[in-house]
Structure 1
Amino acid sequence: MSGNGYQTLLDCRHRGRLLREHGFTVDQIAIVFSLDHPASPLRLYRYAAGLTASQVVTAHAALDSTGATSLREARLYEYENWPRGGRRPPAHVLRLLARIYGTAPGQLVSPQILATYQIRDQRELMRGDQ
């Protein structure tokens, strides 16, 4: 990440730290960030967690014990840009990212994007939201 994107991440890290000190959850912080930053929920949650793409890739590799779903920074950015560009993140990746960010998988996509997944994936993604 470079330029404005990196500065935004740094600002969000600082602001997120302050909000956590006041008892805000990662879900609440992502909502606050959405008021100021026109980004996908997936990117806002990374910002709310205060993580760089590199840190997410490292955490993803540690959680994926099978090694079947390797993630690279460029792919994470593609997922974060969906649906304006990039790629739609697979449901299994959303589940792992939710664990990294400390939220439910269904929080990482808008309801409109969630509706584009197969019914079984929608159910699985929403199961963690209850």
Structure 2
Amino acid sequence: MDAMSGKGYQTLLECRRRSRLLRERGFTIDQIAIVLSLDHQVSPLRLYRYAAGLTASQTISAYATLDPSRAAGLREARLYEYENWPDAGRRPPAHALYLLGRIYGTGPERLVPPSVLATYSAYDRQILNRVPSPSRSPR
């Protein structure tokens, strides 16, 4: 798990710096995630958090804001499990991917590899394909 270990935190700081520079040059969050993937062999879900420049704690806070009923509450440990899946951890439910996509400013279908996306049920794929209302990602 990446958590806030020294190496994990340094990676996040470097990704934040690069992400900021790329945004200043007009890159989209999706393009930034692709650039970061060249140097970091982590899941798409983690790459997008890095591209957005968010810590796990910031992501959890934004998630709670988008889900005020806390029906789909998320803790840091669970986020790390989602980020480690399918190699380890836990499969993220479609609703969680939908909310995380809103937080990171991308489509939820980009947060998992296409081969994994195909394993979600037809109902879950409907959730993943619905168009989100505009949301502001905390930066």
- Taking structure 2 as the reference length, the TM-score comes to 0.89
Which position in structure 1 is the counterpart of 2:33? 30
Q: Does 1:71 align with 2:74?
A: yes
Which position in structure 2 is the counterpart of 1:53? 56
Which position in structure 1 is the counterpart of 2:15? 12
Percent sequence identity is 70
Q: Does 1:117 align with 2:139?
A: no
1:47-93, CA deviations, whole angstroms, 9 ceiling, x for partnerless residues?
Answer: 00000000000010111022111110000000000011000100000
* Aligned partners of 1:105 and 1:128 also within 8 Å: no
The answer for unaligned runs of 5 or more in structure 1 is: none
Letter aligned with residue 4 of structure 1: K
* Aligned partners of 1:53 and 1:73 also within 8 Å: yes
The answer for unaligned runs of 5 or more in structure 2 is: 133-139
Give the aligned length. Answer: 129
Shift in Å at residue 104 of structure 1?
0.7
Letter aligned with residue 2 of structure 1: S
* Aligned partners of 1:61 and 1:67 also within 8 Å: yes
Q: Over aligned residue pairs, what C-alpha RMSD do you find?
A: 1.3
- Taking structure 1 as the reference length, the TM-score comes to 0.95
Q: Does 1:96 align with 2:99?
A: yes
Which position in structure 2 is the counterpart of 1:106? 109
